[in-house]
Structure 1
Amino acid sequence: MGKHYFTPEEVNRLIPELERIIAYLRRLDAEIQEKDWRLRQRKVEARRRDDKVDTYTFLKEEAELDFLRILSQTQCDRIRQLGGELKGGYLVDFPALIDGQEVLLCWRPGEPEVAWYHGLHEGMMNRKPLSDAKGDPAADSEG
């Protein structure tokens, strides 16, 4: 089975689900950061007080963090199952063909439709508007 190249229309149909996934990911990430910070503070305070600390002292908090990280990874995996690749800043890239060249359609939360692309080894700073593409990305699609 060959690689699937997305059309802008295909990505646009995924946007409602991507928005839900990323909103959940953001909540999970915020909770992970908060719990991790609190746990580190508790460990520092315990050391400062010279409390007896063993493997079980912070087991519940560590387990909660592990669970939240698993939930977060599951959401990232779901984006991959949809065909996208999650990048920093919650951007999602999808492989596409424009003018016979392999590129990445680039979407970020809040954008109503995919309107940007960039080269395989470029990032958001090199995004170009799809409207500037010489060829029709939908016509170049394979898959």
Structure 2
Amino acid sequence: MAKKYFTLEEANRLIPFLQGEVKRLQALKREFEARFSELRRMKMLHGAGHVTAGQEDPFFEPEAWLEFLQIEARGIIRRIHETEAQLKDIDMGLVDFPAKLNGWEVLLCWRLGEDRIRHWHHVWEGYYGRKPLGGEQPDE
């Protein structure tokens, strides 16, 4: 399958979808971290010892919740990847879009909170190498 290169218009059309998905992913991550921290606290207080016959496993429900949250997060990540956009950082809400600019392969760069794509960077650079698009337009 040929690699997808986005035009600026194609990438910007995905922004509303990505805003919702990235916000949901961030919320899931925060919930996972809080529940994981609580589970660790429970295990430290009560010990992670073996459950005897007939005794209910006190860690079953919290561990099941963590698994559920992971499954839900993987589904969101899969939906993002199906667009061929590249989720780079959940906490920052950072997504890149492969594009061609003046014949060079680059990444259009969007961050949650931005209303549209205004930056790009070379594939070997990261977020901190972002440059404003200015009047430049990705190749068609």
TM-score normalised by the chain length of structure 2 = 0.89
What residue in structure 1 maps to residue 38 of structure 2? 38
Asked if residue 17 in structure 1 is aligned to residue 22 in structure 2, the reply is no
Cα distance between partner residues in 2 of 1:12 and 1:132: 16
Structure 1 runs (4+) deviating above 4 angstroms are none
CA RMSD of aligned residues (A): 1.7
Cα distance between partner residues in 1 of 2:120 and 2:134: 10
Structure 2 alignment gaps of length 5 or more:
none
Which has the higher relative contact order, 1 or 2, with Cα contacts under 8 A spaced 6 or more apart? 1
Q: In proportion to residue count, which structure has more helix?
A: 1
Q: Using the TM superposition, give the Cα deviation of residue 52 of structure 1 relative to its aligned residue in structure 2, in angstroms.
A: 4.6
Aligned length: 134
Cα distance between partner residues in 1 of 2:128 and 2:49: 50
Cα distance between partner residues in 1 of 2:135 and 2:9: 17
Q: Using the TM superposition, give the Cα deviation of residue 132 of structure 1 relative to its aligned residue in structure 2, in angstroms.
A: 5.9
Structure 1 alignment gaps of length 5 or more:
none
What residue in structure 1 maps to residue 81 of structure 2? 80
Identical-pair percentage: 42
TM-score normalised by the chain length of structure 1 = 0.87
What residue in structure 1 maps to residue 95 of structure 2? 92
SS in 1 for 2:134: helix
Out of 102, 108, 114, the residue aligned to residue 105 of structure 2 is 102
Out of 117, 122, 129, the residue aligned to residue 120 of structure 2 is 117
